[in-house]
Amino acid sequence: MAIKEIHIHWKDLILQYFKKEIPFEAFKGCIRGDYYYLGRFCQLKGLLTRYRTLRLPSDKAVLCWSPWCRPADICVKAPHVRVFFNVNVKEHVDFIHWIIQLCQNRERFYPRSMVATMPKRPQYITRLANGNYKSQQLQKDPFRVKIYLYDNGCGYPTMRIRCIEFRPRHR
């Protein structure tokens, strides 16, 4: 039995995913899915699919974390769970402007709000403070959602929720 150790330098990974050198902090932000960093490097691009998805310059599809939301921003009605991003919250305004910049038809719309959805379930995949994932019920705490963002050709993006992270309670 043989084990081969492979060491890859950060610079090599950055060049592989971004096709150019970028600051290490921006690389970490993109890998974590922080929309602030993704907005500077990602695009909605099609790659052998009928719709365009959020992709790094290397064409790797990525998911992004939304800004933090208030418990009132979530609506649980059959058959979907919806999270509303609106212009009354500064972080949501930045998020909406980022999504508008990704769109092909951005001159046609300036939304006052945007919605991310997922099917309603008894348990939801949630991310814990330590980075692990667990299935649990929704809580009445501030939260953010990990989003799969795509455009099916109409120029207006669709956001599907993949998981939820609740802000840790301070004790």
pLDDT in tens, 39-67: 888 888 876 667 788 888 888 889 999 99
Q: What is the mean pLDDT of residues 99-125?
A: 79
Kind of pairing, strands 124-127 and 158-166? Answer: parallel
Tokens of 50: 């009928």
Q: Give the pLDDT confidence score for residue 88 in this predicted structure.
A: 87
- Rounded to whole angstroms, how far apart are CA atoms 64 and 89? 19
- Give the other-Cβ count within 10 Å of 36's Cβ: 16
Confidence of residue 142 (pLDDT cuts 50, 70, 90): very high
Q: Give the pLDDT confidence score for residue 48 in this predicted structure.
A: 64
Confidence of residue 14 (pLDDT cuts 50, 70, 90): confident
0.85 exceeded by the pTM? no
Which residue from 156, 29, 170 is spatially nearest to 99, judged by alpha carbons? 156
Query: In this model, does residue 140 exceed pLDDT 70?
Result: yes
Lowest average pLDDT, out of 22-26, 62-66, 119-123, 167-171, goes to 167-171
Confidence of residue 97 (pLDDT cuts 50, 70, 90): confident
Confidence of residue 171 (pLDDT cuts 50, 70, 90): very low
At 91, give phi and psi (nearest 5°).
Answer: -65, -35
Percentage of the chain exceeding pLDDT 90: 23
Domain edges within the chain: 64-166
Average pLDDT, the chain: 84
